[in-house]
Structures are given as C-alpha cells and as structure tokens.
Structure 1
Amino acid sequence: FSFSVINPNMLLDPWALGDWKDKGIGVIVSVFLIGVLSIVVGLLYYVLLKKFKTIWIGFAYGLLWWAIVFVVLNPLFPNLKTIGELPANTIISSLCIYILYGVFIGYSISFEAAELQTKDESTDFQTANK
C-alpha cells in the first residue's frame, strides 16, 4: 500500500557498506537488529516505567521513541529526510506504528509486573498464615 517511504534497511545506512544492505539479506539483518533494539527499549521501559498501569504511558513512550528516531537521531541516517520533507502518509503511519509499539511494550511489561507483584503478595500472605 506504500504507506511509508521508510524501510528497515535505513538502520544499516550509516554503518554498512555495499549493495547487500539494499537486498533481501539487508532486510533480514535489519529486522534482526530492530528486534535486538526492541529488547533494549523494553528493558528500559521495565526499569523506568513498569509501575504505571495506564495505557497513556505506553502511548507517550511510543511518541517519545518516534521523536528520538525522527528528530534526534535524524542526522545519523543519511537517507532519512527531515520531518518537513517527509510525505504526510509516512509521518502519520510511522506515528501510528510507534504509538502501537509503545502501547504494546507498556501494556505487556506493566501487566507482567503487576502479575508478579500479585504473585509475590499472595506468597507472602500464605507464608505469614502458616
């Protein structure tokens, strides 16, 4: 549907040389690296924001990462145009993807943290009543 002019290979542009990064292997390597970066982003959320149980924190976290990638880190990516130069479809679809990404990470981690806390409290309660 061509919602965005940005592809995963953008991640390799500053560091990798050669035409391989624009082919299938470049996409595979880029997706793998995005997965590794997602683990780091998730761990960062876990350390800083796991105690919040609202969807809006994840929403804001996604917006924050969009701003970091498209505003702060923009000079690192030579093929990424500035926000003013990007088509509206790319801006809107990337914003939606980052918001969804932030909500997914936030809800998943906050839910798991709440479950672990509930489990610990019930274990403490059972231990105290023995």
Structure 2
Amino acid sequence: MFEEILASEVLTRVWSAVLCAHDRRNGLDESAPIGRSVLIAQLEARHRALSALVQPGLFAAEVALRLDHLRRRAERWTDVLVGYLCCAIGVAPDGAAPLGHVDVALSAVDPRRAAEFAVDFREQRGRES
C-alpha cells in the first residue's frame, strides 16, 4: 500500500500541473481546482504513510530504506516531468511566470528543482533547433 501511495503521487502531481496549464492556456478556472483537490487528498495520504514509516518498530530497517528510496525517486521524477511541462508550455517555474502560471510548478515536490529541469530542457531544445 505504501508503494502505491508514493508512486501514484507522481501521476497526481503531474496531472494537477497539466490541469493548471490547461486552465491558464484557455483563460479558465475549471479543471485546476479539481486537480488541486485531488492533490490535497493525495498529500494527506502521503503524510499518513510517511508518518507510519517513521514509527519505531513498524517497519524493518531495510523496508523503510527501500520505501524512502522509492519516495526520493518518485519526487525527482515528478520534478522532471513538471519541469518538462513548464518548458513545453513556456512557463517559468521559478515564480517569474506570465499570467499567474506559477501554480503549474507548485505541483512539483521541489519547485526550484523543477525550474532547474525546465532550464535544462529549454537549453536542450535550443541546441536542437
């Protein structure tokens, strides 16, 4: 169950970012609130899972380490994907976003890291052009 919570967070965060981007691109405020609501519920499940993970004696050390490794990988992949999305739609995930698009990047685990990925993707796109 813990693996599913951690892994599904990637999809929830990225989908929330996609919904925010869709609304912003179309001047709407319809999909983003749904995405935020689902993300909040996911974050509550994450909090409960991580709280259980640090309870003494509840998990063997090797299981806790494996779950922590999964958590870190899922967080990094989330930021990669949100960074790519920000690059693809022309949103600066560092707070300098036009038209309030910064909420797209707020779906990232670490918006600063997502911004670094967005810069990397932009530079790569520039070299390929």
Task: Tell me, yes or no, whether TM beats 0.5.
Answer: no
TM bucket (normalised to shorter chain) is 0.3 to 0.5
Q: Which has the larger radius of gyration?
A: 1
Taking structure 2 as the reference length, the TM-score comes to 0.36
- TM-score, normalisation: structure 1: 0.36
Larger RCO of the pair (alpha carbons < 8 Å, separation 6+): 1
